[in-house]
Structure 1
Amino acid sequence: MCAETPDYKDTLTLPKTDFPMRAGLPKREPEWLDRWEKIGIYDQLRAKAKASGDTRTPFTLHDGPPYANGHLHIGHALNKTIKDMIVRSHQMMGHDARYVPGWDCHGLPIEWKIEEQYRKKGKNKDEVNIVDFRQECRKFAEGWVDVQREEFKRLGITGNWADPYLTMNFHAERVIAEEFMKFLMNGTLYQGSKPVMWSPVEKTALAEAEVEYHDKESFTIWVKFKVANPGHDLEGAHVVIWTTTPWTIPSNKAVVFGADYAYGLYEVTGTPEECWLKVGEKYLLADKLAAATFAKARISEDQWTRLRDVPTEELATLGLKHPLAGAEGANGEWDDLRDFRAAPFVTDEEGTGFVHCAPSHGMEEYELYRDLGMLEQVLTYNVMDDGGFRADLPFFGGKYILNRKGGEGDANKTVIEKLIEVGGLMARGKIKHSYPHSWRSKAPVIFRNTPQWFAAIDRKVGDKQDQYGETIRDRALKSIEELVKFTPATGKNRLHSMMETRPDWVLSRQRAWGVPLTCFTKVGALPTDADFLLRDPAVNARITEAFEAEGADAWYKDGAKERFLGEGYNAEEWTKVDDVLDVWFDSGSTHAFVLRDREDGTKDGIADVYMEGTDQHRGWFHSSLLEACGTLGRAPYRNVVTHGFTLDEKGNKMSKSLGNTVAPADVIKQYGADILRLWVAQADYTADQRIGDTILKGTADSYRRLRNTMRFILGSLGDFSEDQRVAPADMPELEQWVLHRLAELDVVVQEGYRAFDFQGVFQAVFNFATVELSSFYFDIRKDVLYCDGETLRAHAARTVLDLLFHRLTTWLAPVLVFTMEEVWLERFPGEHSSVHLQDFPVTPAEWKNEALAEKWAKVRRARRVVTAALEIQRVEKVIGASLEAAPVVHVEDEAVLDALKSVEFDDICITSGLSLTGDAAPQEAFRLPEVPGVAVVFEKAEGEKCQRCWKILPDVGTHAHEGVCGRCDSALG
């Protein structure tokens, strides 16, 4: 071309938008948060639902309350983001989707923090007025609620932040007490003395949900119990037990064996030096474990012999002496014979075949002797609440199982040394095993027999018949089977198996900061007596009225007992219970004061969704199910959705000590909250999640690709007006194919959101946006959009882009809350404009066209062969761009050939020309193995390059406007 050829750039309809390539999310996101706060987005949605009458079905996700203590961690971000995506997507699918955030405010961690502050000031908690102490706990929790609220809002979480629920609100404390009183009144509450998991460091009972398992090194000992049957040939022989808790030996009351195992009598015939066994000593052992047991005592196989069988019927006739029986200074503490019988929990997999029983420190032993009606004979109270032995226990009084920080105390060593002294030890060692620890203090726990309050889960609940069962367990299991849907489905079996085998619920904690067990016991009565518990509706009413006005502090104020009992009772005849409720009872009761009592709750007190981490099968899902089945009669939820844990990039558990934690605040500061939300959406949240710099960089790259897609749409719609809109029936096939894909995607998106499958939704939309749109449809239609001018093709393309805009922005709004708001406002600015006030557009089902889709699948497959052939030429620098080509495409299948001839296949392949033929392809033609029957012979386009559209065509230069093709000449007018 000559130098004078005009510059046609200004005649093109190029994309125009102020939407920036760089998002600048960390800086800009707070501006949108302020805007949403100003226009009251959440309140507008509620008003919109109210104005719609009954057309918007309520949808409620009930928030499992995080603990009001400390800054948010990445698990919080994962949890709250999933919840937000559930709520937002259901709102945009036509529901009135409500979300009331909440906080768990009572409990030991807060109490500990206040005690810690006291210790620094040299103050003793026990010397502080309990009401004053509780007030300090309340103030501490309030501070962290405010901090966490702002951190959650920064994540883009929508909800009723102005009026969240707190378990320490006066009304909440009233309802928690009322829910407890329902157990009191329906007969499921009882006081029992049984072994529970006990934290000596925290001086309180713990629930299973408050325990985590870590490796621990423990002492392990083999202890000798002497047979005490005068005249019997086994008199003086030793029954050997094995235990990893030497501290329980002083509380031993029995030894048990397996009814179906083979036992023998063994004699020591030789010993090594420094051995606690002596030649001639006889031992009773399970045959399967005898050799291993002697080996622990360093007795080789040639140093013992088996004398005879000892049938279990004979074992059952024996009496045993405790190894400390008759010890000087024992004062007869262990002189009674130990019980000796068969038990179902004995195994022959490890140990000796005999199990030492301290029913005060083991649930299996406790249940065995409970069922035998022998608890009074076997329960001991040797271990105090701080993990120390009672002061008057011979040899061991004042010794501690753990030290104050949770490390090894002096009890185990003292017990072992005493057993060695009296000749009661066969062997000792150490073992590393998984052991329960308090998740708060991280210190080991023990099983300890203490008087506690329980909810009986196998006792009939009141006198009423219930459609879901008569007991809490029956109702829970039926709810799991019939009333609740689990995502993922494995959660159902997990919760079912836990509920099927769980013991009674320990409700009481020996602490100060919580809702008290609002009940009274009769002085002098036994827990089994009918009048032990006071069950008086009038007393209950006085308590709940006071709690509503003053909070649970009313229970601890001077004169509280007399005030609540009233004139009808002699206060001296009743004891006020001052234990507090397990905090899991608090959170388990939230359905009552959030779902049932609030205006933005639910009519039936049942939530559509509970969504938490997988650990909540034994936590909030579990306690909520137990509590509601005891008071409501069924599960308080219809769906249980579960997410996994957050791990570092290598799959390791996050730990401050390892330095591999990822703080949400740091991610937001570097990338923005939308990148964190996109990380959630891209992953399968039902499994454990990995996060780190490399993963976040990949997430940010996906975000950029999506942002570019939206930027192209915005730029192409700058001048679009309604008079340009083209009806679907009048559109070219390519546009109709896009509408078909939108109709398909609409189903995928809405079904995915309803199934809480955010990964599936995002992948479908992302692939559509970046592959089918950016790399296919946009790539093809850029020529029409830029160069056609005011043609049907251009108007149809912009109509499709408008339809795409409304669907992509709304479909992605639950995930990318900030970015889709930015996209929306770029096109529809306005003081009260927001994508989050929109619903998903109705996508006509008639847009679906399977025949057209099948045809265009053939077109796209053939296009792949052409573009691959041209890419080779481009790499080899034969051409610089595909418009320099005019390939010959050989198509064997006649139907495919007809399909390609019926469309503008050269435009679809972005070439200046293209020939289609059914002739056999030459040997050198390019082929793709995965697309048989299509071959391409490369040819260069002939003609001159149009200076406006850049196509190389023979007619360039033959029109009125210099240096352009016929199409561009017409567009120039």
Structure 2
Amino acid sequence: MCAEKTDTAPDYKDTLNLPKTDFPMRAGLPKREPAWLDRWAEIGVYDRLREKQGRTPFVLHDGPPYANGHLHIGHALNKTIKDMIVRSHQMMGFDSRYVPGWDCHGLPIEWKIEEQYRKKGKNKDAVPVIEFRQECRKFAEGWIDIQREEFKRIGITGNWPNPYITMDFHAEAVIAEEFMKFLMNGTLYQGSKPVMWSPVEKTALAEAEVEYHDKESFTVWVKFKVAEPAEHKLAGAHVVIWTTTPWTMPSNKAVVYGADIAYGLYEVTGTPEECWVNVGDKYLLADNLAADVFKRARLAEDQYTRVGDVSASDLAGLGLTHPLAGAEGSNGEWDDIRDFRAAPFVTDTEGTGFVHCAPSHGMEEFELYRDLGMLEQVITYNVMDDGGFRADLPFFGGKYILNRKGGEGDANKAVIDKLVEVGGLLARGKIKHSYPHSWRSKAPIIYRNTPQWFAGVDRKLDDGMGDYGDTIRERALRSIDELVKWTPQTGRNRLHSMIENRPDWVLSRQRAWGVPLTCFTKKGALPTDADFLLRNVEVNSRITAAFEENGADVWYEDGFKARVLDGIVNPDDYEQVFDVLDVWFDSGSTHAFVLRDREDGTEDGIADVYMEGTDQHRGWFHSSLLQASATKGRAPYRNVVTHGFTLDEKGMKMSKSLGNTIVPEEVIKQYGADILRLWVAQADYTADQRIGPEILKGTADSYRRLRNTMRFLLGSLADFDEGQRVDAADMPELEQWVLHRLAELDKTVKAGYKSFDFNGVWQAIFNFATVDLSAFYFDIRKDALYCDGETLTARSTRTVLDLLFHRLTTWLAPILVFTMEEVWLERFPGADSSVHLVDMPETPDDWINEALAAKWAKVRQARRVVTAALEVQRAEKVIGASLEAAPVVHVRDVDVLDALTRVPFADVCITSDVQLTGDPSPSEAFRLPEVEGVSVVFEKAEGEKCQRCWKILPDVGTHAHAGTCGRCSTALGG
């Protein structure tokens, strides 16, 4: 509403109280955000928040990212969610601390240094280990500095000058100390069993270090002849096995069958021109699979016949010969009779109904023969750490399962060719299937029996911390169910299932960059001997002290063993272990050197929140739970919050090859970090999130609409002072209704922040700002703000706008950290001013007025009908503005009519006048189907247009000030 100059009236524009603000419509975030970052650092916002006294601590413990590359969009999602949690809890009255951290040890960094070496033609093994480790340390330090600045650019608050870093000397000392608790409490043991092994990286891997990709594999159907007893009715027949790992055939020690599977004896009666079977050959197969097997062997249905039933008792006690037995040049390697027995894991859903056993390369087979006490008879050591066969293995020595880059090696072909040569193959082919790969080198892995160090998850702990169980598994499962709240709840189910079924934890890695397994073994002792491991408190203390002073590199110094053992035991009696710890043990131990040991940690060493991606159910959530269960007796967290993965706009996984990656840096350059943060808030992070150009455009549009709301507030509050403030009880109904909505929203926002529901918080605030405020309240009250002067309505409106300002800025500050700072400083400039230094205001409960809200819900419904009726007239060019109308509104319901008559309904509808009637509605009246009982007959307003407020009223021109209505003339002092 602003004045229009005519020939007969003065220009009243300067008499209006129009909005006054320098707050720009265009945000210019990419250029302006860095200045706010500098300002926050200059005034020390994070440190000043720590100085606030009497607050309950709230600690989100940071799951450490890896210090080996620029941030990707998943990092931005992760850190922004964390930042919203930290900031919102701070502004709700907590002492909300955040210590960012970095994972620095392990294969990813070591792999990068090795790549550098390979490019230079340098041999890693020729470099002294301490020198190599120092290069790894330097590499990690460089990326920490880069990532720190990239995280800060997104607006992440925290103790950036003093983060936690797993390669700090104190951290390395504590990690070793935590490992030695496993040593002392009896959970640590050395065992030899099949583990996931990366031939490319020459180390064992944990499940969390493995990802699954499609892989094409060789597949073979191999014949084992029934050899014993010679007089058995099945002697001479062949048991057929199927495998997708032909390279394991040289390590075969047995074949197993299912006790409840129906088997048959099948005889070949005819053959095609080219095949590996002969007429008269007899084969033992599961009945459900026989037809498929013969099809693979290229036999037609009329070229074989079932000649007899085979029961489990028929199979019991048989002995088989390996297909390579007796082969010329085999040197008797495979001549021993192969064991043949029933096993519970055999099925007849695929393959042949028989399973070939190489217990060195399969966990189920290993466990079967371990429980039988037969491991010594079936374990082989044919595959070396680089995935090559031992040099003296007949036929296959020096062959590799994988080549140096992780592609197919020559071992599978060599094995298949030899099986063909000796007549041991029935059929062969290829299969595409999901196969485990190292997530670092991206190369396939194998299962390989190798001595490793394990933490026994079912070993009884006698440590006085048995409130939640006596084993790691028991404590972890009870923690999941009794001590932790899960967001979303599905996270509980996933981790519980993993812990319930997991094997013992493989702690050792055969690498150089990490915290070593700080233990010693007695020379000549067996792993099962009681004195195999040196368990000595003083030795442990010496190790911890040395690490605290000089870091874990001292473990590799000449003479270190003698220094720590001297005077306690004879150093010559012990071997020093040089494997390094699984990097997940490092990050799983962070609760000890961050939460427990730091001043900004927690009194009990337990975090309020761990928050990471869903992959961390098998990663950080998992390792932290296992580690703390062994050393603290319970989980190190009270809440676990999980987010999904980031996908492109079509829901596809991002990859450089597809060209669909979204890089945080590029989004910030184009839109600003607040748009990236708003994308996070708009998404349901508990599921996978999509991001792309169109989605970001939509996010930017939502931001602009919100920015307009804040700009209106700033402009309308430019001249507000405390003398204008009106008590809530004295305000008009419309203002009291806004306060009611504010009180409702306050509960929604704070409950949402407490439950980490940022999408719910954003949607509630955004809908309120755009629908309740911009499209309704602001639209109605512009007239009073601009034209009324110091009336109760105008003062009440400004009072409400001030209350809105303080709540909207603080509610939104955890999400739009830069924009809300800009809004705040526009109104409250000052050297030390910052929205991030204030709390969300307390909102009085007595603002809640359900009866008033119900009444105004009816008013708004009726207003919808009037507004829609006027839009028809506007579209038909009958009117240009709603102030040209004075509609007649027919209301059937007496209560609704009464409600409308008790409010300034013309002002609510932004018309110059309105007539309310309970008379029956004429047929030509406008109606909205969804609003029953309200209809509108259009009438034009009568009178002249006020040259100041533009309302068309009969009294215009009859007052002291020319061309004005009575209200405007009074405002002008006449």
TM-score (norm. length: structure 1)? 0.99
SS in 2 for 1:680: helix
Alpha-carbon contact 2:8-2:962 (below 8 Å) kept: no
Distance 1:655 1:309 in 2: 54
CA-to-aligned-CA distance 1:396-431 (integer Å, 9 cap, x gap) = 000000000000000000000000001000000000
Confirm whether residue 13 of structure 1 aligns to residue 17 of structure 2: yes
Structure 1 equivalent of residue 315 of structure 2? 315
Task: Trace 1:514-913 onto structure 2 (pairs within 5 A).
Answer: 514-913=514-913
Alpha-carbon contact 2:296-2:427 (below 8 Å) kept: yes
Q: CA deviation at 1:125?
A: 1.0
Q: CA deviation at 1:314?
A: 1.3
Would the alpha carbon gap of residues 881 and 505 (structure 1) be closer, same or farther in structure 2, given more than 3 Å must change?
same
CA-to-aligned-CA distance 1:262-316 (integer Å, 9 cap, x gap) = 0011100000011000000000000111111100001111111111111011111
Distance 1:226 1:85 in 2: 67
CA-to-aligned-CA distance 1:596-628 (integer Å, 9 cap, x gap) = 000000000000000000000000000000000
Report the residue type matching 1:804 in the other structure.
L
Alpha-carbon contact 1:74-1:646 (below 8 Å) kept: yes
Distance 1:523 1:334 in 2: 33
Report the residue type matching 2:445 in the other structure.
V
Alpha-carbon contact 1:103-1:145 (below 8 Å) kept: yes
Q: CA deviation at 1:809?
A: 0.0
Once superposed, what is the RMSD of the aligned Cα atoms? 0.7
SS in 2 for 1:228: strand
SS in 2 for 1:467: helix
Structure 2 equivalent of residue 917 of structure 1? 917
Structure 2 equivalent of residue 41 of structure 1? 45
Confirm whether residue 498 of structure 1 aligns to residue 502 of structure 2: no
Would the alpha carbon gap of residues 465 and 546 (structure 1) be closer, same or farther in structure 2, given more than 3 Å must change?
closer
Report the residue type matching 1:200 in the other structure.
P
Task: Trace 1:274-285 onto structure 2 (pairs within 5 A).
Answer: 274-285=274-285
Report the residue type matching 1:521 in the other structure.
T
Structure 1 equivalent of residue 376 of structure 2? 376
Distance 1:363 1:213 in 2: 18
Structure 2 equivalent of residue 195 of structure 1? 194
Q: CA deviation at 1:447?
A: 0.3
Alpha-carbon contact 2:221-2:240 (below 8 Å) kept: yes
Structure 2 equivalent of residue 58 of structure 1? 57
SS in 2 for 1:712: helix
Structure 1 equivalent of residue 940 of structure 2? 940
CA-to-aligned-CA distance 1:888-924 (integer Å, 9 cap, x gap) = 0000000000000000000000000000000110011
Q: CA deviation at 1:233?
A: 1.8
Structure 1 equivalent of residue 953 of structure 2? 953
Alpha-carbon contact 1:401-1:411 (below 8 Å) kept: yes
CA-to-aligned-CA distance 1:557-615 (integer Å, 9 cap, x gap) = 11011011122322221100000000000000000000000000000000000000000
Distance 2:598 2:73 in 1: 30
Confirm whether residue 71 of structure 1 aligns to residue 41 of structure 2: no
Alpha-carbon contact 2:219-2:431 (below 8 Å) kept: yes
Task: Trace 1:345-364 onto structure 2 (pairs within 5 A).
Answer: 345-364=345-364
Distance 2:915 2:370 in 1: 91
Report the residue type matching 1:310 in the other structure.
V
Q: CA deviation at 1:119?
A: 2.3
Distance 2:278 2:104 in 1: 61
Report the residue type matching 2:295 in the other structure.
A
Structure 2 equivalent of residue 123 of structure 1? 122
Structure 2 equivalent of residue 385 of structure 1? 385
Distance 1:313 1:928 in 2: 81
SS in 2 for 1:83: helix
Distance 2:304 2:426 in 1: 14
Structure 1 equivalent of residue 205 of structure 2? 206
Report the residue type matching 1:57 in the other structure.
T
SS in 2 for 1:933: strand
Distance 1:303 1:702 in 2: 71
Q: CA deviation at 1:463?
A: 4.8
SS in 1 for 2:720: coil
Q: CA deviation at 1:123?
A: 1.9
CA-to-aligned-CA distance 1:345-400 (integer Å, 9 cap, x gap) = 11111000001111110111111111111111111110000000000111000000
Distance 2:186 2:788 in 1: 81
Report the residue type matching 2:84 in the other structure.
M
Distance 1:918 1:613 in 2: 60
Alpha-carbon contact 1:684-1:759 (below 8 Å) kept: yes
Structure 2 equivalent of residue 180 of structure 1? 179
Q: Identity rate of aligned residues, in percent?
A: 82
Would the alpha carbon gap of residues 11 and 194 (structure 1) be closer, same or farther in structure 2, given more than 3 Å must change?
same
Distance 1:800 1:463 in 2: 61
Report the residue type matching 1:908 in the other structure.
V
Alpha-carbon contact 1:890-1:920 (below 8 Å) kept: yes
Alpha-carbon contact 2:465-2:633 (below 8 Å) kept: no
Moved runs in structure 1, 4+ residues, more than 6 A? none
Would the alpha carbon gap of residues 13 and 639 (structure 1) be closer, same or farther in structure 2, given more than 3 Å must change?
same
Task: Trace 1:276-295 onto structure 2 (pairs within 5 A).
Answer: 276-295=276-295
Distance 1:122 1:274 in 2: 49
Would the alpha carbon gap of residues 232 and 467 (structure 1) be closer, same or farther in structure 2, given more than 3 Å must change?
same
Structure 2 equivalent of residue 469 of structure 1? 469
Report the residue type matching 1:142 in the other structure.
E
Distance 1:318 1:806 in 2: 84
Distance 1:700 1:654 in 2: 22
Q: CA deviation at 1:120?
A: 2.5
Distance 2:463 2:537 in 1: 16
Q: CA deviation at 1:480?
A: 0.4
Distance 1:455 1:568 in 2: 26
Farther-moved stretch of structure 1 (940-949 vs 798-807) = 940-949
Unaligned runs of at least 5 residues, structure 2: none
Distance 1:451 1:682 in 2: 50
Task: Trace 1:88-103 onto structure 2 (pairs within 5 A).
Answer: 88-103=87-102
Unaligned runs of at least 5 residues, structure 1: none
Aligned residue pair count = 968
Alpha-carbon contact 1:222-1:428 (below 8 Å) kept: yes
Alpha-carbon contact 2:201-2:441 (below 8 Å) kept: yes
Alpha-carbon contact 1:539-1:566 (below 8 Å) kept: no
SS in 1 for 2:610: strand
Alpha-carbon contact 1:522-1:573 (below 8 Å) kept: yes
SS in 2 for 1:157: coil
Alpha-carbon contact 2:465-2:632 (below 8 Å) kept: no
Distance 2:475 2:381 in 1: 35
CA-to-aligned-CA distance 1:252-271 (integer Å, 9 cap, x gap) = 11111111110011100000
Report the residue type matching 2:15 in the other structure.
T
Report the residue type matching 1:255 in the other structure.
V
Alpha-carbon contact 2:8-2:963 (below 8 Å) kept: no
Distance 1:783 1:119 in 2: 75
Report the residue type matching 2:8 in the other structure.
E
Report the residue type matching 2:301 in the other structure.
E
Task: Trace 1:384-423 onto structure 2 (pairs within 5 A).
Answer: 384-423=384-423
Structure 2 equivalent of residue 219 of structure 1? 218
Confirm whether residue 29 of structure 1 aligns to residue 33 of structure 2: yes
Report the residue type matching 1:498 in the other structure.
M
SS in 2 for 1:429: strand
SS in 2 for 1:932: strand
Q: CA deviation at 1:841?
A: 0.1
Q: CA deviation at 1:465?
A: 5.5
Report the residue type matching 2:950 in the other structure.
W
